[in-house]
């Protein structure tokens, strides 16, 4: 049976009866068989019974929580079942060894940069990403890698305004809170891709708290931040251009205040529907010679990183070839 993501968009209670979860809200009761759930995304105030938690933990189903602004708040991360002491040691070794760490960090920056180039090239927009990326060769510290990545992304965001129609220009990145519609979409989409990547990491033996480009720290799964950089241009930015240029999202799908702009409930539903469809979309994988979904591409990226960590194959980040 094909599992899928479930998006809970309103306040409610999650209860269990045997092997089925029921989401109770003002609209009634919705059954969700546990065998169909891949992960859950909660955008309202969610309460759940201890029995529901036990079932989710038993089946290894994570829940990702988002706040009023649509920003990622945290996750219910079930007890890991795919444990590997050997891999954990290798993962830590590659973090503690400075030379090994900067190799991996550089790969994440390269992958993200090349995918940003691909997005801009699709729209026939000239850019200086390759020139900025050359500075990576002289980097010896993580802060220097982050600086190059930040400069590339700032240049990329500047070029994005050439793709967007009047009334939807970014005019600089603003985050907490986002100040206009495009910033709101980027923040919302980045939260989605982060939690999607985290779910894929959970289904492997990697530890999500040991990272290489972003500093590991308390209260965040920083490896998901690392890997998200590669897929943001592919799954978030291209989706934003599609939704705006096709007029599937309009001003009525946002709410504004003096210093912020956010997607409203209607806008979130539209974005999530298209995002989920994009995760299911398949492409012909050149190396595997078969069709794989975008969600599977993320899992394959995690497997590639594992091979690098254990020394069987050098990690090369995924880059669009179309």
Q: What is the dihedral of CA 108, 114, 115, 116, to 10 degrees?
A: 110
The pTM score is: 0.88
Whole-angstrom distance, CA of residue 285 vs CA of residue 272: 25
Nearest to 57 by CA among 32, 79, 82, 36: 79
DSSP string over 225-251: HHHHHHHIIIIIIHHHHHHHHTTSS-G
Q: What is the pLDDT along the chain (322 residues), one digit of tens a residue?
A: 578 899 998 888 999 988 899 899 888 888 989 999 999 999 888 888 889 988 988 888 889 998 877 788 888 877 666 567 889 999 999 999 999 999 999 999 999 999 999 999 999 999 999 999 999 999 999 999 999 999 999 999 999 999 998 888 887 787 677 888 999 999 999 999 999 999 999 889 899 999 999 998 766 789 999 999 999 999 999 999 999 999 999 999 998 886 778 899 899 999 999 999 999 999 988 888 899 999 999 999 999 999 999 999 999 999 998 7
Provide the H-helix boundaries in 137-237.
142-160, 181-202, 222-231
Angle (CA) 209-83-81 rounded to 5° is 100
CA 19 to chain centre: 29
What pLDDT sits at residue 220?
Answer: 77
Q: How many residues does the chain have?
A: 322
Contact in structure between 113 and 152 (CB atoms under 8 Å): yes
**C-beta atoms surrounding 151 within 10 Å:** 15
Going by their DSSP bridges, the two strands 63-66 and 72-76 should be labelled as antiparallel
- Residues with Cβ within 8 Å of 132's Cβ and at least 6 positions away in sequence, in order, are 113, 148, 151, 152, 155
Count Cβ atoms within 10 A of the Cβ of residue 189 and give its class: 0-12 exposed, 13-18 middle, 19 or more buried: buried
Contact in structure between 115 and 108 (CB atoms under 8 Å): no
What pLDDT sits at residue 219?
Answer: 64
Contact in structure between 120 and 130 (CB atoms under 8 Å): no
Whole-angstrom distance, CA of residue 103 vs CA of residue 237: 26
């Amino acid at each position: 049976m094909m599992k899928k993501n479930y998006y809970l968009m309103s306040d409610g209670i999650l209860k269990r009866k045997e092997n089925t979860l029921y989401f109770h809200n003002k609209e009634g009761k919705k059954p969700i068989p546990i065998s169909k759930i891949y992960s859950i995304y909660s955008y309202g105030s969610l309460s759940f019974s201890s029995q529901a938690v036990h079932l989710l933990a038993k089946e290894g189903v994570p829940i990702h929580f988002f706040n009023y602004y649509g920003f990622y708040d945290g996750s219910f991360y079930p007890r890991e079942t795919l444990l590997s002491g050997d891999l954990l040691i290798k993962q830590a070794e590659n973090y503690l060894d400075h030379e090994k760490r900067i190799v991996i960090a550089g790969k994440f920056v390269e992958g993200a940069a090349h995918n940003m180039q691909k997005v801009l090239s699709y729209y026939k927009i000239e850019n200086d990403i390759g020139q900025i990326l050359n500075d990576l060769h002289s980097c010896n510290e993580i802060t220097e890698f982050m600086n190059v990545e930040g400069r590339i992304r700032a240049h990329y965001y500047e070029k994005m305004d050439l793709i967007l129609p009047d009334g939807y220009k970014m005019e600089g990145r603003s985050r907490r809170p986002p100040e206009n519609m495009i910033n709101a979409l980027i923040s919302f989409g980045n939260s989605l891709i982060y939690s999607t990547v985290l779910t894929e990491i959970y289904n492997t033996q990697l530890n999500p708290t040991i990272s290489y480009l972003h500093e590991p720290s308390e209260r965040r799964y920083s490896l998901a931040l690392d890997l998200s950089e590669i897929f943001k241009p592919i799954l978030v930015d291209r989706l934003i251009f599609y939704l705006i240029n096709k007029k599937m999202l309009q001003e009525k799908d946002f709410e504004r205040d003096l210093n912020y702009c956010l997607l409203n409930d209607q806008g979130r539903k539209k974005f999530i529907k298209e995002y989920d469809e994009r995760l299911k979309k398949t492409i012909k994988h050149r190396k595997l010679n078969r069709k794989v979904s975008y969600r599977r591409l993320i899992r394959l990226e995690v497997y590639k990183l594992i091979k690098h960590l254990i020394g069987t194959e050098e990690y090369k980040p995924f880059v669009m070839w179309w």
